[in-house]
């Protein structure tokens, strides 16, 4: 009677329909929708309107808020709006501001008012990053242990679909049907529609205590996290777990076009559309399997699959020129990567203390980008030049192994995290 929302007997396949889990599809969509509109889509609009290459390069700085969001995450932990609870209130405020910001961007033009448009895009990116802070915290707070894999999977599905809508579909709409301004207005209206899910989403069964001061909200997340015996192990694991995947994907498009000899159309169709579909299927399958396997076994199994799937790119590099071979290799890599992502996000959620979940998740997710941004990005080109593409892809399998060995060595730490997930 004390846990009316717990339904441990429901099969894993039915996790996705639970009241706590199902809204995450729409909320994940709301989280992903602004990203391309302030990034690739905005750059495409500026390119069409003959903005100089130097000025377009300047637009890449618009997304800085996503990297620095941990700086104001303590504010989201400390202060709660007077409606819809501690997390949903912030989400709704940001969603409304995002809708208005997107519509306002549609009233401008990069060719005529680039600076005001860029400043507005910065504001939209800030609101989007703030929504992400609140959404990640809400997801960590509301989901129970057995639901975290499914919740991560639906979030990934919604996020990826939103990027497809605000990326590829927005370009088509702008070029063929509506024009750029009306497309941005439409995206703003779409944000208002999906914001309705914020009202539908439930509050956590047991709301977490709010930090008593902003100072505590800033300092206590670090103090609490590093007081745990597994803290340093987990931080290293966060960097290493998807490192092999990051290296394999760092220059995958360049490899497929320049080295493997596929056309941009072939790569776009297979790498983007099929890759997206495979990632979504992998995330959904991973989320369902996690309910049965638990956190540790899921991380180990999906991590092994991630590593082995890199051999698909190796096969493309040494095999015959075949679109079907490329499709199989790309599909396999994205399928296994999606499964790994579901488990990884579930790990991050399990690491967060509910009192400080906004700050801790923002910090941990920022740390997870270290491998992709500061290791895979800079070191992939020299490795390829030194070893060649086939050997490089074999090396990415080896690069994935330290994370798996660390995971196996510190199994007890991961099981401890999983065991206290609902406490």
Q: Are residues 262 and 130 in the same domain?
A: no
| Cα 81 to Cα 99: distance, rounded to the nearest angstrom | 19
Shared domain check, 228 and 191 = no
End-to-end CA distance of the chain: 17
Rg (CA), the chain: 21
- Does a structural domain hold residue 376? yes
Lowest mean pLDDT among 17-26, 276-285, 398-407: 276-285
pTM: 0.79
Asked if the structure places residue 165 within a domain, the reply is yes
Average pLDDT, the chain: 85
Supply φ then ψ for residue 222, to 5 degrees.
Answer: -70, -45
Residue 1: predicted pLDDT: 38
133 and 258 both lie in a single domain:
no
360 in a domain, yes or no? yes
Average pLDDT rounded to a whole number, residues 152-172: 86
Alpha-carbon separation of residue 253 from 47, 260, 272, 313 (angstroms): 21, 10, 10, 11
Q: Within a domain: residue 208?
A: no
3-state DSSP call for residue 285? helix
On the CB side of 251, how many CA atoms lie within 13 Å of its CA? Answer: 21
Choosing from 200, 223, 252, the residue where a domain stops is: 200
- Considering the domain architecture, whether residues 180 and 275 belong to the same structural domain is answered as no
Into how many domains does the chain fold? 2
Range of the domain at 335: 214-419
State the alpha helices, DSSP H only, in 251-356. 252-254, 264-267, 275-293, 295-309, 311-318, 323-351
DSSP 273: I
Q: Is residue 415 part of a domain?
A: yes
CATH of the domain at 375: 1.20.1250.20
CB count, 10 Å around CB of 269? 15
The count of residues in the chain is: 423
Q: Where is the domain boundary, 157, 173, 200?
A: 200
Determine the pLDDT at residue 265: 74
**Are residue 19 and residue 95 in the same domain, yes or no?**
yes
Residues 182 and 239 in one domain: no
Residue 235 has pLDDT above 90, yes or no: no
Q: Residue 301: which residues within 8 A CB-CB, separation 6 or more? A: 289, 293
Q: Residue 341 and residue 149: Cα distance in Å, rounded?
A: 9
Q: What pLDDT was estimated at residue 26? A: 94
The token pair that represents 45 in the structure block: 């609009």
Tell me, yes or no, whether 163 lies in a domain: yes
59-62: long-range pairs with CB below 8 Å, 24+: 59/118, 59/121, 62/38, 62/118, 62/121, 62/122, 62/125
What percentage of the chain has pLDDT greater than the value 90? Answer: 32
Query: What is the enclosing helix (H) or strand (E) of 359?
Result: helix 357-370
Considering the domain architecture, whether residues 144 and 249 belong to the same structural domain is answered as no
Residue 9 has pLDDT above 70, yes or no: no
138 pLDDT above the threshold of 50: yes
Q: What would the DSSP string read from start to end of 148-195?
A: HHHHHHHHHHHHHHHHHIIIIIHHHIIIIIS-HHHHHHHHHHHHHHHT
Q: What tens digit of pLDDT does each residue of 362-411 get? A: 888 878 777 777 787 778 888 988 999 999 999 999 999 999 999 999 88
- Closest by CA to 142, choosing from 192, 91, 107, is 91
Residue 254 within a domain? yes
Residues 37 and 144 in one domain: yes
pLDDT of residue 193: 95
Rounded to the nearest angstrom, the gap between the alpha carbon of residue 5 and the centroid of all alpha carbons in its chain is 27
pLDDT at 8 over 60: no
How many CB atoms neighbour CB 101 within 10 A?
A: 26
Of 141, 172, 200, the residue that ends a domain is 200
Q: Would you say residue 302 has pLDDT above 50?
A: yes
Higher pLDDT residue, 280 or 135?
135
Asked whether the predicted pLDDT for residue 421 surpasses 70, the reply is no
């Amino acid at each position: 009677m004390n846990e009316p929302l717990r339904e441990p007997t429901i099969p894993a396949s039915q996790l996705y329909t639970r009241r706590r889990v199902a809204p995450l599809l729409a909320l994940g969509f709301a989280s992903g929708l602004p990203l391309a509109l302030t990034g690739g889509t905005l750059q495409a609009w500026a390119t069409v309107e003959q903005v100089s290459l130097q000025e377009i390069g300047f637009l890449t700085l618009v997304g800085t808020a996503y990297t620095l969001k941990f700086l104001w995450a303590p504010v989201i932990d400390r202060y709660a709006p007077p409606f819809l609870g501690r997390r949903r209130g912030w989400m709704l405020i940001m969603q409304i501001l995002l809708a208005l910001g997107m519509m306002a961007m549609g009233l401008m033009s990069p060719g005529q008012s680039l600076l005001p448009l860029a400043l507005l895009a910065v504001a939209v990116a800030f609101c989007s990053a703030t929504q992400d802070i609140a959404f990640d915290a809400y997801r960590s707070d509301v989901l129970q242990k057995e639901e975290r894999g499914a919740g991560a999977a639906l979030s990934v599905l919604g996020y990826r679909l939103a990027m497809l809508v605000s990326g590829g579909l927005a370009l088509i709409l702008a070029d063929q049907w509506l024009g750029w301004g009306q497309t941005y207005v439409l995206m703003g209206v779409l944000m208002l529609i999906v914001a309705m899910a914020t009202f539908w989403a439930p509050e956590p069964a047991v709301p977490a205590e709010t930090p008593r001061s902003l100072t505590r909200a800033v300092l206590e997340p670090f103090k609490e996290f590093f007081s745990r015996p597994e803290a340093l192990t987990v931080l290293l694991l966060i960097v290493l777990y998807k490192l092999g995947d990051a290296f394999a994907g760092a220059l995958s498009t360049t490899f497929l076009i320049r080295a493997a000899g596929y056309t941009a159309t072939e790569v776009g169709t297979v790498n983007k559309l099929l890759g997206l579909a495979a990632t979504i299927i992998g995330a959904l399958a991973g989320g369902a399997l996690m309910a049965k396997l638990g956190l540790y076994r899921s991380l180990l199994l999906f991590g092994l699959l991630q590593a082995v799937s890199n051999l698909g790119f190796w096969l493309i590099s040494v095999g015959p020129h075949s679109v079907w071979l490329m499709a199989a290799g790309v599909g396999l890599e994205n399928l296994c990567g999606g499964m790994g992502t579901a488990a990884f996000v579930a790990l991050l959620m399990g690491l967060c203390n509910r009192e400080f979940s906004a700050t801790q998740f923002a910090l941990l997710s920022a740390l997870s980008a270290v491998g992709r941004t500061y290791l895979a990005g800079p070191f992939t080109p020299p490795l390829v030049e030194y070893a060649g593409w086939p050997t490089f892809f074999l090396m990415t399998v080896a690069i994935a192994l330290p994370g798996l060995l660390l995971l196996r060595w510190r199994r007890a730490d991961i099981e401890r995290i999983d065991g206290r997930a609902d406490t």
